């Protein structure tokens, strides 16, 4: 990432984009790193390393476009089933990313956050996560949210446990629990719901990602694996989003 000025309306228009029709929040399922590497005779870990390069430019592009939030699905609750060697590499790569990109996050005025369970993550990863969160707390730009050791079903279980504890303590009437109450107990409390969900590598599933939050999100899938995702693909997704008629269950006026 490098420090660059936000795109003007004229620059966006040159790419066929209208600022008024951009999503506030994009969530991305970054899929296909391992398959991309194996198809080229490379070890799976090389796909993850190349995937980090894609993360760097998409963060920069989304910040310059003026999005309010970008959420990246980095490591799922189910990913712990992978070989230990690959897990160790992923944790080391994540810690390295946090250290190397922190200065750029600050230069670009990005607010850093993470969602997911902390249990199981290494001490080094948690240390660097907390450092980035604290240092960027007062920034005013785009929020970069990384979903790490995240699973939406696990998130909903944690939210239910929190609500149940308050109900048992007499702090909450179960009959009065609302959608807003549930949303306030999710890891994403205070964040806008995604307007657009991107998935790479052609997979047509949600994979336990933000199940509550993407209730009304537009879905966009590309056959390209994450390491080969480019700016032209992002622009295509944004154009497609802008052309859709979003009625949220109602009828157009």
Strands (E), the chain: 25-29, 69-76, 111-115, 143-150, 196-199, 218-221
Backbone torsions φ then ψ of 73, nearest 5 degrees: -85, 100
149 is catalytic: no
Provide the β-strand partners of residue 112.
144
Candidate list 9, 10, 15, 31, residue with the active-site label: 31
DSSP state, residue 95: H
Q: Is 208 annotated in the active site?
A: no
Which of 79, 109, 139, 208 does the annotation list as catalytic? 79
Q: How far apart are CA 206 and CA 223, in angstroms?
A: 15
Count Cβ atoms within 10 A of the Cβ of residue 57 and give its class: 0-12 exposed, 13-18 middle, 19 or more buried: middle
- Using DSSP, state whether 2 is helix, strand or coil: coil
User: Tokens 């040159």 label which residue?
Assistant: 14
Three-class SS state of 80: helix
* Sign, Cα dihedral of 97, 102, 103, 105: positive
Catalytic residues: 31, 79
């Amino acid at each position: 990432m490098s420090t660059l000025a936000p795109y003007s309306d004229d620059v966006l228009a040159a790419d066929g984009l209208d600022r008024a029709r951009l999503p506030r929040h994009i969530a991305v399922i970054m899929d296909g790193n391992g398959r991309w590497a194996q198809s080229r005779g490379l070890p799976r870990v090389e796909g993850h390393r190349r995937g980090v390069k894609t993360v760097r430019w998409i963060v920069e592009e989304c910040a310059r476009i003026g999005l309010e939030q970008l959420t990246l699905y980095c490591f799922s609750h189910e990913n712990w089933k992978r070989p230990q060697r690959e897990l160790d590499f992923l944790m080391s790569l994540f810690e390295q990313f946090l250290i190397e990109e922190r200065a750029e996050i600050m230069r670009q005025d990005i607010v850093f956050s993470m969602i997911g369970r902390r249990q199981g993550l290494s001490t080094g990863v948690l240390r660097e996560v907390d450092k980035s969160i604290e240092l960027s707390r007062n920034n005013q730009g785009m929020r970069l949210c990384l979903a790490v050791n995240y699973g939406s079903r696990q998130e909903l279980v944690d939210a239910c446990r929190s609500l149940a504890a308050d109900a048992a303590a007499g702090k909450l009437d179960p009959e009065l629990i609302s959608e807003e109450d549930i949303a306030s107990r999710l890891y994403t409390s205070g964040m806008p719901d995604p307007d657009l969900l991107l998935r790479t590598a052609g997979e047509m599933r949600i994979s336990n990602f933000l199940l509550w939050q993407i209730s009304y999100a537009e879905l966009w899938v590309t056959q390209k694996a994450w390491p080969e995702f480019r700016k032209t693909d992002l622009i295509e997704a944004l154009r497609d989003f802008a052309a859709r008629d979003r009625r949220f269950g109602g009828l157009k006026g």
